[in-house]
Structure 1
Amino acid sequence: MSALCLASRFCRGLKVSHIRPALARTTVTVAAETTQKVAFEEIPAVGKKWVGRWLFGCSGMVFGAVVIGGLTRLTESGLSMTDWHLFGKRPPLTEAEWEREFAQYQEFPEYKLKNQGMSLSEFKFIWWMEYGHRQWGRTIGTFFLLPAAYFWHKGWFTRLMKKRVLVCGALIGCQGLLGWYMVKSGLEDRFKDPSDVPRVSQYRLMSHLGMAFVLYSIFLWNALDVTYPAQKLKQVTAQAMKFRKFAHITKGWVFLTALSGALVAGLDAGLVYNSFPKFADRWIPSDILAFSPALRNFTENPTTVQFDHRILGTVALGLATTAMIWSRRVMLPPRAYTAAAALGGMAWMQVGLGISTLLLYVPTSLAAMHQSGSLLTLSFAIWLTHELKHLKKLPK
């Protein structure tokens, strides 16, 4: 019997339902890979170059917003502007306009409970700080939107990149609204007692900073993807796969530690127990669970929030140091070694800045550097995981 007849009988014995799913999966997978590959290759080199520069520029702008936002918080300037306009407003130009702006500020809790007797010149300083932060945010929107529209029109975005651009645009818009929602919490008439300290909600502050970190991470990851594609390895070992998983865990922990720092800032928790490594003369402070119910302490008790931030930071340091040392014993893409070393070094610098900020009673310059350092540490963690993105699972 010929081979052709055998093949014919075998095919007749198979059910169509057995063939279609496998064929469909193969067709869809190949089509998707081919479409993305072709779409990416069709983008001219000049398009890739400018899209990469734009993405790096957007990430740098968001980094700047985090730094300015930290300075605004540290100089207690965030509640100086008591209204919000979508496209901003013209700053006061005359002395009469400044007087009106100052009179409006005097109607809110921060002035009544904390800043009575403030001079007009002192008010101008905090007003300009907040104004600069808001205008920087609007500049980010413009810097993102105009080139994005041009690149989209030129066909310099892949299908996947188009989706990411839409996500980033939505996040930028939500970030502006969330910023005002945060400020509004400090302007509400909920501070009745003379001992109350008018401040924004630490929950909204954490959400605002967290969204900024997410936006920054997306921009940086895609900038690296376009400009410095991750290198590949011909042979992937089991140790490399374990290291890749560990690097992602480290990145997530660094992000979590940064979020806990937002709670520290929101509650001014850095102003309690300015000693290290002990809390005064104790390893565990006596008022760590002073609030009831106990769960409130983790987000509302300054002592507990500082204690948690110390623990999270110490663990992050251990993870980053382990990644730096472990990377030297594993076969990785060449740039991954540099990224791991940078992550480990930055983690030590960040912890040093945090301890110095605490011991010196939170000077503005050091505190701002510490907050910026958290974003730099996250940046190196993102870079490391990006360099490992092509490590695939080992065949069984």
Structure 2
Amino acid sequence: MVQSAAVVDDAAPLKAEQSERRNRRALRIWLGIVLAALFALVLVGGATRLTDSGLSITEWKPIHGVIPPLNAQQWEEEFQLYQRIPQYQQLNEGMTVGQFKSIFWWEWTHRLLARSIGLIFGLPLLVFWLTGRVEKRLRLPLVGLLALGGFQGFIGWWMVSSGLSKLTSVSQYRLATHLTIACLIFASCVWIMRGLARHSADRAPASMTRLAGVVAFLVVLQIYLGALVAGLDAGMSYNTWPLMDGAIIPSDLFAQHPAWRNLFENPKTVQFLHRCGAYLLWAMALLQMLLLQQKAPGTTHARRAIVFFGLVTLQAILGISTLLMQVPIDVALTHQAGALVVLFFAVAHWRGFIGEYPRETRVVVAD
């Protein structure tokens, strides 16, 4: 009698797992490059805002706009387009072509970086997809991110167009929307990249996972409030701390009618909300750190919470310094960079509770 038995090919699953690990490492490196490009894009965007350069290019040319003016005539033509908008007529009348160039290059660089990210994200994704390196669970999220990036380009022009006819700067509503979508793209890349990395076996209560999610949401909310502050130039006034206009809770926070408009259009109220958001985020980061030391002592989660609290504290110090010094560009950009670092760590910390994406490879059994 012939006896059959299941024979496990030990080499096949090992090779499959090693291949999957290599693929995940390649995807992580790619997403890391995307994150670095997004980081640079947001900082250049911040510099564009701080130097009032965002309206220097008055037309949306997704393809042709890659090429800047190449001679004196082209510079003059570009400058004449800028002279038609309220910002020049009301704020910069008499500006020379040389002075115009200094603001043009900030906006041009910002748009070039935005276009480049489309290529940095889209082309490798296509290659990874065609070579079978993108796991099924990641296909829809990655394509969704690519689509959101394209939509973000439209949002950027929608923002710029708000300052071309009546306003002398872009709408704070649209600026905040533009920055928030950029941060959501950034956070999503962090989430996916972190899920492709190996995780510690340390465990923590489910309540800590939920708390980490709340903290990450508060970081995004605080960035949104910061964008409103930037859009209204609200950081240029009430440059004292901890008091604001001589009080802990200043007066006239709801001087405009209807009352809700103060939350978005009153510089005093918007700055106060940004301050309150910072206090709340700092308190939640402290609470998270203390709870994890109690509920999951000695774990990687507890150690990460300590680092995160330190980052939030440092970011608060940068914010206060930016305010007290009346928004110098170097300190303000450092503060904006710090916000992205805090966002990166908040999302990675939250993702760390959930663990690595389950492997798709399976042990092959041969009879």
| Residue of structure 2 equivalent to 1:48 | 24
Please say if 1:232 is aligned against 2:208.
no
Please say if 1:287 is aligned against 2:287.
no
1:307 to 253, 262, 272: 272
Equivalent residues of 2:66, 2:112 under 8 A apart: no
1:91 to 49, 68, 74: 68
Equivalent residues of 1:202, 1:263 under 8 A apart: yes
Rounded to whole Å, the distance in 2 between the matches of 1:152 and 1:242 is 36
| Residue of structure 2 equivalent to 1:127 | 104
Specify the SS of the correspondent of 1:278: coil
Structure 1 letter corresponding to 2:215: T
Rounded to whole Å, the distance in 2 between the matches of 1:348 and 1:208 is 26
**TM (normalized to structure 1)?**
0.82
1:63 to 39, 44, 58: 39
Larger radius of gyration: 1
Question: Unaligned 5+ residue runs, structure 2?
Answer: 1-12, 357-367
Structure 1 letter corresponding to 2:282: L
Deviation at 1:362, TM superposition (A): 0.6
Equivalent residues of 1:186, 1:200 under 8 A apart: yes
| Residue of structure 1 equivalent to 2:228 | 263
| Residue of structure 1 equivalent to 2:320 | 355
| Residue of structure 2 equivalent to 1:340 | 305
Rounded to whole Å, the distance in 1 between the matches of 2:216 and 2:123 is 32
Rounded to whole Å, the distance in 2 between the matches of 1:287 and 1:114 is 28
Change in Cα spacing, 1:332 to 1:249, as seen in structure 2 (3 Å) is farther
Please say if 1:73 is aligned against 2:49.
yes
Deviation at 1:325, TM superposition (A): 2.7
Deviation at 1:338, TM superposition (A): 3.3
Deviation at 1:61, TM superposition (A): 1.2
Please say if 1:177 is aligned against 2:177.
no
Structure 1 segment 133-172 matched on structure 2, within 5 A: 133-172=110-149
| Residue of structure 1 equivalent to 2:80 | 103
Question: Unaligned 5+ residue runs, structure 1?
Answer: 1-36, 192-197, 392-396
Cα root mean square deviation, aligned: 2.0
Rounded to whole Å, the distance in 2 between the matches of 1:65 and 1:334 is 35
Deviation at 1:42, TM superposition (A): 8.6
Specify the SS of the correspondent of 1:230: coil
Please say if 1:216 is aligned against 2:186.
yes
1:252 to 194, 198, 217: 217
Identity of matched residues, %: 37
Please say if 1:115 is aligned against 2:92.
yes
Rounded to whole Å, the distance in 2 between the matches of 1:351 and 1:45 is 38
Structure 2 letter corresponding to 1:344: F
Deviation at 1:339, TM superposition (A): 2.1
Structure 1 ranges of 4+ moved more than 4 A: 40-43
343-352 or 56-65: bigger deviation: 56-65
Change in Cα spacing, 1:333 to 1:390, as seen in structure 2 (3 Å) is farther
Equivalent residues of 1:102, 1:120 under 8 A apart: yes
Please say if 1:374 is aligned against 2:350.
no
Deviation at 1:332, TM superposition (A): 6.6
- Structure number with the bigger relative contact order (C-alpha 8 A, sep ≥ 6) is 2
Residues 64-95 of structure 1: CA distance to partner in whole angstroms, max 9, x if unpaired? 11111111101110000000112234111111
Rounded to whole Å, the distance in 1 between the matches of 2:279 and 2:41 is 27
